[in-house]
Amino acid sequence: MNPECIKFFADTTAKLHSIAEKEGYVPTGMINVPEVFSFGTKVVLGLLQKQSLSERFSDDPVEYYYRIVCYAWSCGVLAAKEWHLNFEDFSKDDFLDRLINTSNAPSFLAKDIAEEKLAMTVDDLNEFLPKIYEVWQESLEPYWKFSDIISRDYTFAAILACYQLAVSMVLERYGFGHDKL
């Protein structure tokens, strides 16, 4: 990412984190683990390249990106859990494929962890995820006027911010904080 896009990612992540903080899901600052963050870039790319999603929502870009944002957040939940509880499995080459190419949507797989670790019911998720999408959409609005090549970088960064938010939320519930990493 170019420096402007990195700043955009940081700003978007901070906005998303602020929403989660207001909702009571994160009491401290953002938690970043390099290998989980790096994995997130693969998740986002994998979701954007997932042909079944693009075919299913080809006539509805709003729904397509809403699903991508929700799936990225859900993948962040799953990746953080796996990194913390089963690093060996997290490190396997097929973990990404198992995460995004499962017959169940990542959001279905993440709901139990969200309920257990974040105290989020399905209703809470159904209220929280649209707020995340709204921030995602508002963050990207100034970049839609640019060429597709430029706006793609920012779209990718904003989706990655949604993934990163979930990672931070879950790792904090597993007892991580800035002093423990």
- pLDDT, tens only, 49-93: 989 888 999 899 889 999 999 999 999 999 999 999 988 988 888
181 assigned to some structural domain? no
119 assigned to some structural domain? yes
72 assigned to some structural domain? yes
Number of domains in the chain: 1
- 3-class SS at 109? helix
Task: Report the mean per-residue pLDDT for the chain.
Answer: 86
158 assigned to some structural domain? yes
149 assigned to some structural domain? yes
**Phi, psi torsion values for 145, nearest 5 degrees:** -75, -15
Cα distance between residue 166 and residue 172, in whole Å: 10
Cα distance between residue 131 and residue 34, in whole Å: 26
| 64 close to 114: Cβ distance less than 8 angstroms | no
Q: What is the mean pLDDT of residues 3-9?
A: 90
Q: Residue 34 carries which side chain, given as an amino acid letter? A: P
pTM of the predicted protein model: 0.90
Helix (H) or strand (E) holding 169: helix 148-173
140 assigned to some structural domain? yes
Cα distance between residue 165 and residue 14, in whole Å: 9
180 assigned to some structural domain? no
11 assigned to some structural domain? yes
Cα distance between residue 88 and residue 104, in whole Å: 23
pLDDT tens-place string over residues 83-111: 999 889 888 888 888 888 776 666 677 88
Residue 108 domain boundaries: 3-173
